[in-house]
Structure 1
């Protein structure tokens, strides 16, 4: 089925590439939605993107309805030849299972599609699946036209499990929008550390499927960070404050803070909107994300774009972006001694905070959303050209 705006008289792509994007609803809080919104807000004239949410805030029943509606929209778009490419964002857990159904439909319609992997704990999730389901998913996902991984390490993993050819898979680090100016952070009476993301652990198993599929727990290390702040010597503790912003086990976090007697040192907010997040970034002096598993965290990249020094762990794609002691500090997940030491270093050394923050911002300029959109457009264009060439060969035969 050829797109309506395809020019078959030469090897040029259509004037506008029509993309149907499937992923988390735009009112979901998290990194995948942040990427989707950045793409939709910075479309070049060559692209026309229609987004359809396959998962939304709410109950399981509500999400079943959301998914059924998404399938109806997808099938209608395919029947009407309204999309040149389908771009699928997916993670682990239920996201993988929903997208497997979507991929089946796309294969039936012979529709070109991209799989864009985001899952921080996908490796653990996939390893816990029965071998038959692994085989089924591997065969399905391996038939994508293009696969986008967030880092070279993730590329190596997905290439192996889905048996992808080198030409099928590409690395696109997550994009970030750069603030035009960053504040002068001199003269702050306290060093303000910030954490953005899930507070506590998310995971477990679905009641109806726990005997079949184990869902790994995702932990961004918020409780480790609370304990590390409490473990600081009084002299350092008196010079620091911590803000945690996100969703999750907020009440448990508050109880831990009270138990440790540091209520006057830590503030917890629920998930912030973009304007609130930017205001917090502008006020902050450093960013901490002692996570146990990641794809490539958007919160870290946003902090770096704001010129903040970062304390992070060498998980997922982070080691490909952070060079220890050059544009950030790296500590091992769960190592409280290292975390305490890194926090102390940034409290005591103002010059290092400035130099790491400045280097962080400079080091990710290549991830500016404008550059990212050029790379994404190249991926889309390559698929259109492959499809055009394949249609020509069929005609000749």
Structure 2
């Protein structure tokens, strides 16, 4: 089969496949930051490569009906094949998570392998471990086979790198850690001397999950829980003196009706507010007025909402799951509590309410610890990865696994 990668062009063309920009969530946020940064400036390479980087994004799923998304997905396949046949793509960059995302993207990966294109996978799934373990053996083997033939897999932390290497037997040289990027604001407000504090939660409210209707007899999908209901219950148990000094705002999608019922049941209607999902401008306005960020998740990749809050100089109360412990250090730039441990969550909130010096110190450290993740730095790292993938000679007919001697 002809290798379409041999022709040298003045551009390095990347076709990015992922969620539509109308989808709410972390994958969309990462994609938007990349595309916006790419649009702001002409991106070249620092290693003497004279080519210009061009990134074109194509959605594989959008906010809409099942039928609409079937059409969108088929069109993404057509777009991919058309670009390949016209030799207008050098690298296929595929964002994926667990559940249906992996199943959809597997077909796109297979097409890329068939045409011997360089493929960069970008792993986002917070519950990928549970999802993969529950798959039938033949699906596990198929996914591992496809992933093993890809040029690079981007993961969000070193712990996730270890997982993909050990469980899917990927070659360590083909697994790269890139923490999620964030847009760091040039300045943050002075939060000292405030009488009424504002705690903020950003994310899905309630559990996401359950089996897919068309595959429920075959696959049981894990549920993802960001701990919003735990947070409401813990907030209700704060001592009266602390409750007088703080309000809680939850912003996101999900089971908002049940959350409103729980708030009413716990007599918190004057202390807890729920907002629907915010756009980036509204989110930044909320974070600018907040005093602390809380995300007591049960599972995570590396939450964008946490990184955004840290960039705004907010102390965080989060859980040591996924890549979080590699960014947040207890009592240094945030507070860590175990998932589902309400007493720990209550105690952490009391610490931030009662100790302004701690609150401000953790916030300053939080901002400092994510400054290197600013999108301008990230896009340079990503372009370097693209250049490496595009210029490195690889045998794409046979995967290199971690148990092979290189």
Bin the TM-score by the shorter chain: over 0.9
Q: Secondary structure at the match of 1:114?
A: strand
Offset at 1:209? 1.1
User: Which stretch of the first structure deviates more once superposed, 311-320 or 376-385?
Assistant: 376-385
Offset at 1:389? 11
Contact 1:4 1:81 in 2 (8 A): no
Aligned to 1:31: 26
Instruction: Mark the runs of 5 or more structure 2 residues left unpaired by the alignment.
Output: 45-52, 397-406
Contact 1:16 1:45 in 2 (8 A): no
Q: 2:376 aligns with which of 358, 367, 370?
A: 370
Offset at 1:61? 1.3
1:322-333 superposed matches below 5 A: 322-333=328-339
1:204-219 superposed matches below 5 A: 204-219=210-225
Alpha-carbon distance in 2 for matches of 1:341, 1:266: 18
Q: 1:108 aligns with which of 114, 137, 159?
A: 114
Alpha-carbon distance in 2 for matches of 1:230, 1:166: 46
TM-score, length-scaled by structure 1:
0.94
Cα RMSD for the two superposed structures: 1.4
Q: 1:251 aligns with which of 248, 257, 261?
A: 257
Contact 2:4 2:116 in 1 (8 A): no
Offset at 1:187? 2.9
Contact 1:150 1:174 in 2 (8 A): yes
> Are 1:227 and 2:233 an aligned pair?
yes
Offset at 1:188? 2.2
Aligned to 2:366: 360
> Are 1:166 and 2:172 an aligned pair?
yes
Contact 2:300 2:323 in 1 (8 A): yes
Aligned to 1:86: 92
User: Which stretch of the first structure deviates more once superposed, 250-259 or 363-372?
Assistant: 363-372
CA offset digits 1:312-360 (Å, max 9, x no partner): 0000000000110000000000000000000000000011110000000
CA offset digits 1:362-387 (Å, max 9, x no partner): 01111111111111111101111114
Aligned to 2:208: 202
> Are 1:157 and 2:163 an aligned pair?
yes
Alpha-carbon distance in 2 for matches of 1:252, 1:16: 51
Q: Secondary structure at the match of 1:95?
A: helix
Instruction: Mark the runs of 5 or more structure 1 residues left unpaired by the alignment.
Output: 7-13, 391-397
Contact 1:5 1:15 in 2 (8 A): no
Q: 2:103 aligns with which of 97, 105, 116?
A: 97
Q: Secondary structure at the match of 1:42?
A: helix
Aligned length: 383
Q: 1:18 aligns with which of 13, 33, 54?
A: 13
TM-score, length-scaled by structure 2:
0.92
Contact 2:203 2:253 in 1 (8 A): yes
Aligned to 2:404: none
Alpha-carbon distance in 2 for matches of 1:388, 1:263: 60
Contact 2:333 2:363 in 1 (8 A): yes
Runs of 4+ aligned structure 1 residues displaced above 3 Å come to 1-5, 387-390
